[in-house]
A = this chain, B = another copy of it.
Protein backbone atom coordinates (compact mmCIF):
# COMPACT_ATOMS: atom_id res chain seq x y z
CA UNK A 1 0.00 0.00 0.00
CA UNK A 2 1.26 3.48 -0.73
CA UNK A 3 0.33 5.53 2.30
CA UNK A 4 0.62 8.68 0.22
CA UNK A 5 -2.09 7.65 -2.25
CA UNK A 6 -4.42 5.55 -0.09
CA UNK A 7 -5.18 7.98 2.75
CA UNK A 8 -7.74 10.76 2.30
CA UNK A 9 -8.68 11.76 5.84
CA UNK A 10 -6.92 11.89 9.24
CA UNK A 11 -5.80 8.32 9.96
CA UNK A 12 -3.80 6.79 12.82
CA UNK A 13 -0.97 4.59 11.53
CA UNK A 14 0.73 1.96 13.65
CA UNK A 15 4.08 0.46 12.74
CA UNK A 16 3.95 -3.15 13.93
CA UNK A 17 7.71 -3.70 13.62
CA UNK A 18 8.53 -0.74 15.87
CA UNK A 19 5.85 -1.81 18.41
CA UNK A 20 7.19 -5.34 18.57
CA UNK A 21 10.77 -4.08 18.95
CA UNK A 22 9.61 -1.86 21.83
CA UNK A 23 7.84 -4.78 23.51
CA UNK A 24 10.82 -7.09 22.94
CA UNK A 25 13.22 -4.55 24.46
CA UNK A 26 11.09 -4.07 27.58
CA UNK A 27 10.53 -7.83 27.96
CA UNK A 28 14.28 -8.45 27.67
CA UNK A 29 15.02 -5.77 30.24
CA UNK A 30 12.47 -7.19 32.66
CA UNK A 31 13.98 -10.65 32.28
CA UNK A 32 17.53 -9.38 32.85
CA UNK A 33 16.43 -7.76 36.10
CA UNK A 34 14.23 -10.70 37.21
CA UNK A 35 11.15 -8.51 37.01
CA UNK A 36 7.70 -9.70 35.99
CA UNK A 37 6.35 -7.49 33.20
CA UNK A 38 2.63 -6.72 33.62
CA UNK A 39 2.19 -4.31 30.69
CA UNK A 40 -0.42 -1.58 30.90
CA UNK A 41 -2.84 -1.80 27.99
CA UNK A 42 -4.44 1.63 28.49
CA UNK A 43 -2.08 3.03 25.86
CA UNK A 44 -3.26 0.92 22.91
CA UNK A 45 -6.63 -0.48 24.22
CA UNK A 46 -6.48 -2.99 21.35
CA UNK A 47 -7.02 -6.77 21.35
CA UNK A 48 -4.98 -7.15 18.18
CA UNK A 49 -2.04 -5.10 19.46
CA UNK A 50 -2.41 -6.94 22.79
CA UNK A 51 -1.72 -10.18 20.93
CA UNK A 52 1.73 -8.88 19.95
CA UNK A 53 2.80 -9.29 23.60
CA UNK A 54 1.95 -12.99 23.70
CA UNK A 55 5.21 -14.22 22.24
CA UNK A 56 7.03 -12.61 25.16
CA UNK A 57 5.35 -14.76 27.76
CA UNK A 58 3.09 -12.05 29.17
CA UNK A 59 0.20 -13.59 31.11
CA UNK A 60 -1.03 -10.71 33.24
CA UNK A 61 -1.94 -7.22 32.05
CA UNK A 62 -2.89 -3.88 33.56
CA UNK A 63 -5.82 -1.72 32.48
CA UNK A 64 -7.20 1.61 33.70
CA UNK A 65 -10.95 0.97 33.90
CA UNK A 66 -13.31 -1.90 34.52
CA UNK A 67 -14.72 -1.45 31.00
CA UNK A 68 -11.22 -1.97 29.63
CA UNK A 69 -10.83 -5.05 31.82
CA UNK A 70 -14.07 -6.46 30.43
CA UNK A 71 -12.88 -5.82 26.86
CA UNK A 72 -9.66 -7.77 27.30
CA UNK A 73 -11.28 -10.44 29.47
CA UNK A 74 -13.83 -11.22 26.78
CA UNK A 75 -11.41 -12.84 24.43
CA UNK A 76 -7.91 -13.62 25.55
CA UNK A 77 -6.71 -12.42 28.92
CA UNK A 78 -7.26 -14.35 32.16
CA UNK A 79 -5.26 -12.23 34.64
CA UNK A 80 -6.08 -8.56 34.72
CA UNK A 81 -5.11 -5.80 37.11
CA UNK A 82 -7.29 -2.68 37.17
CA UNK A 83 -4.70 -0.03 37.97
CA UNK A 84 -7.07 2.66 39.20
CA UNK A 85 -8.39 3.33 42.72
CA UNK A 86 -11.45 1.11 42.73
CA UNK A 87 -14.75 2.89 42.10
CA UNK A 88 -17.21 1.25 44.53
CA UNK A 89 -20.15 2.06 42.24
CA UNK A 90 -18.79 -0.59 39.87
CA UNK A 91 -18.80 -3.46 42.35
CA UNK A 92 -21.49 -5.38 40.46
CA UNK A 93 -19.41 -5.25 37.29
CA UNK A 94 -16.40 -6.43 39.26
CA UNK A 95 -18.35 -9.39 40.63
CA UNK A 96 -19.41 -10.39 37.12
CA UNK A 97 -15.87 -10.10 35.80
CA UNK A 98 -14.31 -11.95 38.73
CA UNK A 99 -16.58 -14.97 38.21
CA UNK A 100 -14.29 -16.50 35.65
CA UNK A 101 -11.22 -14.28 35.58
CA UNK A 102 -8.40 -13.54 37.97
CA UNK A 103 -8.89 -9.84 38.68
CA UNK A 104 -7.02 -7.49 40.98
CA UNK A 105 -7.85 -3.90 41.88
CA UNK A 106 -6.19 -1.03 43.71
CA UNK A 107 -7.34 0.17 47.10
CA UNK A 108 -6.45 3.53 48.61
CA UNK A 109 -8.86 3.81 51.52
CA UNK A 110 -10.79 1.83 54.10
CA UNK A 111 -14.36 2.66 52.98
CA UNK A 112 -13.90 1.02 49.57
CA UNK A 113 -12.16 -1.96 51.18
CA UNK A 114 -15.21 -2.27 53.44
CA UNK A 115 -17.64 -2.13 50.52
CA UNK A 116 -15.73 -4.85 48.70
CA UNK A 117 -15.43 -6.98 51.84
CA UNK A 118 -19.22 -6.84 52.21
CA UNK A 119 -20.27 -7.12 48.59
CA UNK A 120 -17.78 -9.31 46.74
CA UNK A 121 -19.19 -12.62 45.59
CA UNK A 122 -15.94 -13.87 44.06
CA UNK A 123 -12.27 -13.65 45.01
CA UNK A 124 -10.52 -10.46 43.97
CA UNK A 125 -6.89 -9.58 44.57
CA UNK A 126 -5.84 -6.08 45.56
CA UNK A 127 -2.78 -3.91 45.67
CA UNK A 128 -2.57 -1.01 48.06
CA UNK A 129 -1.58 1.95 45.91
CA UNK A 130 1.06 4.10 47.53
CA UNK A 131 1.77 7.75 46.86
CA UNK A 132 5.52 8.22 47.21
CA UNK A 133 5.56 11.78 45.90
CA UNK A 134 3.50 12.01 42.70
CA UNK A 135 0.52 13.48 44.56
CA UNK A 136 -2.20 12.02 42.33
CA UNK A 137 -3.56 8.89 44.00
CA UNK A 138 -2.65 6.46 46.74
CA UNK A 139 -2.06 6.18 50.45
CA UNK A 140 0.78 8.43 51.63
CA UNK A 141 3.83 6.19 51.98
CA UNK A 142 4.14 6.83 55.72
CA UNK A 143 0.45 6.47 56.54
CA UNK A 144 0.73 3.03 58.14
CA UNK A 145 -2.54 3.58 59.94
CA UNK A 146 -4.48 3.72 56.69
CA UNK A 147 -2.48 0.85 55.15
CA UNK A 148 -3.24 -1.35 58.14
CA UNK A 149 -6.92 -0.35 58.22
CA UNK A 150 -7.22 -1.65 54.67
CA UNK A 151 -5.28 -4.83 55.54
CA UNK A 152 -7.44 -5.44 58.62
CA UNK A 153 -10.68 -5.16 56.67
CA UNK A 154 -9.33 -7.48 53.99
CA UNK A 155 -8.14 -10.00 56.56
CA UNK A 156 -11.71 -10.42 57.77
CA UNK A 157 -12.92 -11.10 54.22
CA UNK A 158 -12.55 -14.45 52.47
CA UNK A 159 -12.90 -12.71 49.10
CA UNK A 160 -10.30 -9.92 49.29
CA UNK A 161 -6.75 -11.16 48.79
CA UNK A 162 -3.85 -8.80 49.49
CA UNK A 163 -1.23 -9.03 46.75
CA UNK A 164 1.16 -6.19 47.54
CA UNK A 165 2.02 -2.55 47.01
CA UNK A 166 1.78 -0.53 43.82
CA UNK A 167 3.36 2.82 42.97
CA UNK A 168 2.85 4.81 39.78
CA UNK A 169 5.47 7.55 39.79
CA UNK A 170 3.86 9.59 37.02
CA UNK A 171 5.87 12.68 37.90
CA UNK A 172 8.77 11.15 35.94
CA UNK A 173 6.89 12.26 32.81
CA UNK A 174 7.72 15.84 33.69
CA UNK A 175 11.28 15.29 34.94
CA UNK A 176 14.72 15.26 33.35
CA UNK A 177 17.02 12.24 33.60
CA UNK A 178 18.43 13.28 36.96
CA UNK A 179 14.91 13.89 38.23
CA UNK A 180 13.75 10.49 36.97
CA UNK A 181 16.70 8.85 38.73
CA UNK A 182 15.82 10.61 41.97
CA UNK A 183 12.11 9.71 41.72
CA UNK A 184 12.99 6.10 40.89
CA UNK A 185 15.16 6.03 44.01
CA UNK A 186 12.20 7.20 46.09
CA UNK A 187 9.94 4.55 44.52
CA UNK A 188 12.45 1.78 45.25
CA UNK A 189 13.05 2.95 48.80
CA UNK A 190 9.33 3.18 49.52
CA UNK A 191 8.55 -0.27 48.13
CA UNK A 192 11.55 -1.86 49.88
CA UNK A 193 10.57 -0.30 53.20
CA UNK A 194 6.97 -1.52 52.86
CA UNK A 195 8.04 -4.99 51.83
CA UNK A 196 10.45 -5.24 54.78
CA UNK A 197 7.77 -4.01 57.16
CA UNK A 198 5.00 -6.36 56.04
CA UNK A 199 6.71 -9.42 54.55
CA UNK A 200 6.59 -11.42 57.78
CA UNK A 201 2.83 -11.08 57.89
CA UNK A 202 2.40 -11.45 54.10
CA UNK A 203 5.30 -13.57 52.80
CA UNK A 204 3.85 -13.63 49.29
CA UNK A 205 3.50 -9.86 48.90
CA UNK A 206 4.98 -8.31 45.79
CA UNK A 207 5.93 -4.77 44.89
CA UNK A 208 4.95 -3.26 41.57
CA UNK A 209 5.92 -0.01 39.89
CA UNK A 210 4.83 1.31 36.59
CA UNK A 211 6.03 4.41 34.80
CA UNK A 212 7.57 4.10 31.33
CA UNK A 213 10.41 6.62 31.94
CA UNK A 214 11.85 4.71 34.93
CA UNK A 215 11.35 1.33 33.25
CA UNK A 216 13.05 2.60 30.08
CA UNK A 217 15.97 4.48 31.59
CA UNK A 218 16.86 2.94 34.95
CA UNK A 219 19.05 -0.10 35.53
CA UNK A 220 18.62 -0.87 39.20
CA UNK A 221 15.25 -2.19 40.34
CA UNK A 222 16.20 -3.40 43.81
CA UNK A 223 13.03 -3.67 45.89
CA UNK A 224 10.74 -3.90 42.85
CA UNK A 225 9.32 -7.30 41.85
CA UNK A 226 7.04 -6.36 38.99
CA UNK A 227 6.80 -3.53 36.47
CA UNK A 228 3.66 -2.28 34.75
CA UNK A 229 4.62 0.31 32.10
CA UNK A 230 2.25 1.03 29.22
CA UNK A 231 3.35 3.90 27.03
CA UNK A 232 6.54 2.11 25.84
CA UNK A 233 4.59 0.10 23.24
CA UNK A 234 4.14 3.27 21.17
CA UNK A 235 6.34 5.81 22.95
CA UNK A 236 5.86 9.46 21.85
CA UNK A 237 7.55 12.86 21.72
CA UNK A 238 7.22 13.34 25.48
CA UNK A 239 9.18 10.14 26.05
CA UNK A 240 11.75 10.98 23.35
CA UNK A 241 12.13 14.39 24.92
CA UNK A 242 13.03 12.99 28.34
CA UNK A 243 15.27 10.28 26.90
CA UNK A 244 13.08 7.18 27.40
CA UNK A 245 13.37 6.42 23.67
CA UNK A 246 14.61 7.76 20.37
CA UNK A 247 12.18 9.39 17.98
CA UNK A 248 12.72 6.38 15.71
CA UNK A 249 11.14 4.21 18.45
CA UNK A 250 7.81 6.06 18.18
CA UNK A 251 5.40 3.50 16.71
CA UNK A 252 2.34 5.58 15.77
CA UNK A 253 1.88 8.59 13.52
CA UNK A 254 -1.21 10.50 12.56
CA UNK A 255 -1.54 10.81 8.78
CA UNK A 256 -2.87 14.31 8.09
CA UNK A 257 -3.94 15.77 4.71
CA UNK A 258 -2.41 19.12 3.70
CA UNK A 259 -5.16 21.62 2.86
CA UNK A 260 -3.17 24.86 2.47
CA UNK A 261 0.42 26.11 2.31
CA UNK A 262 1.65 29.62 3.10
CA UNK A 263 5.26 29.54 1.91
CA UNK A 264 6.04 33.11 2.90
CA UNK A 265 4.97 32.38 6.50
CA UNK A 266 6.56 28.90 6.49
CA UNK A 267 3.18 27.44 7.45
CA UNK A 268 1.30 24.37 6.30
CA UNK A 269 -2.35 23.84 7.30
CA UNK A 270 -3.35 20.21 7.90
CA UNK A 271 -6.55 18.46 8.88
CA UNK A 272 -5.30 17.42 12.29
CA UNK A 273 -6.62 18.99 15.45
CA UNK A 274 -7.36 18.33 19.08
CA UNK A 275 -10.00 15.73 18.18
CA UNK A 276 -7.28 13.69 16.45
CA UNK A 277 -4.11 14.27 18.46
CA UNK A 278 -5.50 15.50 21.81
CA UNK A 279 -4.08 18.75 23.14
CA UNK A 280 -1.00 17.58 25.03
CA UNK A 281 1.81 19.98 24.29
CA UNK A 282 5.59 20.27 24.65
CA UNK A 283 7.44 23.56 24.95
CA UNK A 284 10.32 23.97 22.50
CA UNK A 285 13.65 25.36 23.75
CA UNK A 286 12.69 28.78 22.29
CA UNK A 287 9.43 28.83 24.25
CA UNK A 288 7.12 28.02 21.31
CA UNK A 289 4.52 25.29 21.65
CA UNK A 290 4.86 21.90 19.96
CA UNK A 291 1.74 19.75 19.42
CA UNK A 292 3.47 17.12 17.26
CA UNK A 293 6.40 16.70 14.88
CA UNK A 294 6.25 16.09 11.15
CA UNK A 295 7.47 12.91 9.43
CA UNK A 296 7.37 11.99 5.75
CA UNK A 297 5.27 8.99 4.82
CA UNK A 298 6.66 6.37 2.45
CA UNK A 299 5.70 2.85 1.45
CA UNK A 300 7.46 1.29 4.42
CA UNK A 301 6.24 3.69 7.11
CA UNK A 302 7.81 7.09 7.64
CA UNK A 303 11.13 8.91 7.81
CA UNK A 304 12.09 11.62 10.24
CA UNK A 305 13.48 14.75 8.53
CA UNK A 306 16.85 15.98 9.82
CA UNK A 307 15.43 19.43 10.55
CA UNK A 308 12.26 19.52 12.64
CA UNK A 309 8.93 20.89 11.47
CA UNK A 310 6.22 20.88 14.12
CA UNK A 311 2.59 21.71 14.82
CA UNK A 312 2.73 25.16 16.35
CA UNK A 313 -0.99 25.39 17.06
CA UNK A 314 -4.09 23.22 16.95
CA UNK A 315 -7.80 23.76 17.42
CA UNK A 316 -10.68 21.28 17.12
CA UNK A 317 -9.95 20.17 13.53
CA UNK A 318 -7.11 22.44 12.35
CA UNK A 319 -3.35 22.10 12.80
CA UNK A 320 -0.81 24.71 11.70
CA UNK A 321 2.70 23.41 10.98
CA UNK A 322 5.78 25.61 11.35
CA UNK A 323 7.65 24.19 8.37
CA UNK A 324 11.31 24.15 7.36
CA UNK A 325 12.39 25.08 3.82
CA UNK A 326 13.17 21.40 3.29
CA UNK A 327 9.60 20.40 4.11
CA UNK A 328 8.09 23.22 2.05
CA UNK A 329 10.13 22.10 -0.95
CA UNK A 330 8.67 18.59 -0.76
CA UNK A 331 5.02 19.15 0.09
CA UNK A 332 2.02 20.21 -1.99
CA UNK A 333 -1.65 20.73 -1.20
CA UNK A 334 -3.23 17.27 -1.27
CA UNK A 335 -0.16 15.52 0.21
CA UNK A 336 -0.49 13.54 3.39
CA UNK A 337 2.04 14.24 6.16
CA UNK A 338 2.72 12.12 9.24
CA UNK A 339 2.66 13.61 12.74
CA UNK A 340 4.41 12.02 15.72
CA UNK A 341 2.17 12.61 18.75
CA UNK A 342 3.14 14.35 21.97
CA UNK A 343 1.17 11.80 24.03
CA UNK A 344 0.40 8.55 22.24
CA UNK A 345 -2.10 7.20 24.84
CA UNK A 346 -4.30 10.26 24.33
CA UNK A 347 -3.95 10.28 20.53
CA UNK A 348 -4.97 6.62 20.35
CA UNK A 349 -7.95 7.36 22.61
CA UNK A 350 -9.02 10.19 20.27
CA UNK A 351 -8.68 8.18 17.04
CA UNK A 352 -10.09 4.83 18.29
CA UNK A 353 -8.99 2.83 15.26
CA UNK A 354 -5.56 1.99 13.86
CA UNK A 355 -4.36 1.17 10.37
CA UNK A 356 -1.19 -0.87 9.99
CA UNK A 357 1.18 -0.20 7.13
CA UNK A 358 -0.61 -2.72 4.97
CA UNK A 359 -3.82 -0.72 5.34
CA UNK A 360 -5.54 -3.21 7.64
CA UNK A 361 -7.71 -1.95 10.48
CA UNK A 362 -6.82 -2.78 14.08
CA UNK A 363 -9.37 -2.51 16.89
CA UNK A 364 -9.56 -0.07 19.80
CA UNK A 365 -11.83 -0.56 22.83
CA UNK A 366 -13.78 2.63 22.19
CA UNK A 367 -14.02 2.46 18.42
CA UNK A 368 -13.79 -0.34 15.93
CA UNK A 369 -14.29 -3.74 17.53
CA UNK A 370 -12.25 -6.78 16.57
CA UNK A 371 -13.98 -9.58 14.69
With a cutoff of 8 Å between Cβ atoms, the chain B residues found around residue A333 in the complex are: 88, 109, 111-112
Q: Does A361 contact B (CB under 8 A)?
A: no
- Please state if A87 and B9 are interface contacts (CB–CB under 8 Å): yes
Contact of A278 among B112, B269, B278 (CB under 8 A): B278
Contacting B at CB under 8 A, from A77-100, are 84-90, 93
Which listed segment binds B: A28-36, A184-192, A242-250, A310-318? Answer: A310-318
Q: Does A170 contact B (CB under 8 A)?
A: yes
Q: Does A271 contact B (CB under 8 A)?
A: yes
Interface string of A266-294 (1 = CB under 8 A from B): 00010100110011100000000000000
Contact of A271 among B87, B112, B332 (CB under 8 A): B87
Q: Does A147 contact B (CB under 8 A)?
A: no
* Assembled-state Cα–Cα distance A260/B279 (Å): 27
- Please state if B9 and A90 are interface contacts (CB–CB under 8 Å): yes
Across the two chains, which residue of chain B brings its CB closest to A8?
B89
- Please state if A259 and B67 are interface contacts (CB–CB under 8 Å): no
Across the two chains, which residue of chain B brings its CB closest to A349?
B275
Across the two chains, which residue of chain B brings its CB closest to A346?
B274
Chain B nearest CB, measured from A110 CB (Å): 10
Contact of A334 among B84, B88, B366 (CB under 8 A): B88
Q: List 29 A-B contacts (CB under 8 A).
A: A8-B90, A8-B93, A9-B66, A9-B87, A64-B316, A65-B271, A84-B271, A84-B318, A85-B269, A87-B257, A89-B334, A109-B260, A111-B332, A111-B334, A112-B259, A112-B260, A115-B334, A136-B269, A136-B315, A136-B318, A137-B260, A137-B318, A170-B315, A274-B280, A279-B280, A279-B346, A316-B346, A349-B350, A352-B366
- Number of copies of this kind of chain in the complex: 2
Chain B nearest CB, measured from A42 CB (Å): 6
* Assembled-state Cα–Cα distance A183/B320 (Å): 21
Q: A interface vs B, CB < 8 Å?
A: 7-9, 42, 64-67, 84-90, 93, 108-109, 111-112, 115, 135-137, 170, 257, 259-261, 269, 271, 274-275, 278-280, 313, 315-318, 320, 332-334, 336, 345-346, 349-350, 352, 366
Other than A65-B271, A279-B279, A350-B350, give 17 A-B pairs with Cβ distance below 8 A: A9-B87, A9-B90, A42-B317, A64-B317, A84-B271, A84-B317, A84-B318, A85-B260, A89-B334, A108-B269, A136-B318, A274-B346, A274-B349, A275-B346, A275-B349, A279-B280, A349-B350
Across the two chains, which residue of chain B brings its CB closest to A259?
B85
* Assembled-state Cα–Cα distance A85/B272 (Å): 12
Chain B nearest CB, measured from A93 CB (Å): 8
CB-CB nearest 5 A-B residue pairs: A8-B89, A85-B259, A64-B317, A275-B349, A279-B279
- Please state if B345 and A316 are interface contacts (CB–CB under 8 Å): yes
- Please state if B269 and A137 are interface contacts (CB–CB under 8 Å): yes
* Assembled-state Cα–Cα distance A346/B84 (Å): 24
- Please state if B8 and A87 are interface contacts (CB–CB under 8 Å): yes
With a cutoff of 8 Å between Cβ atoms, the chain B residues found around residue A9 in the complex are: 65-67, 87, 89-90
Chain B nearest CB, measured from A217 CB (Å): 20
With a cutoff of 8 Å between Cβ atoms, the chain B residues found around residue A42 in the complex are: 316-317
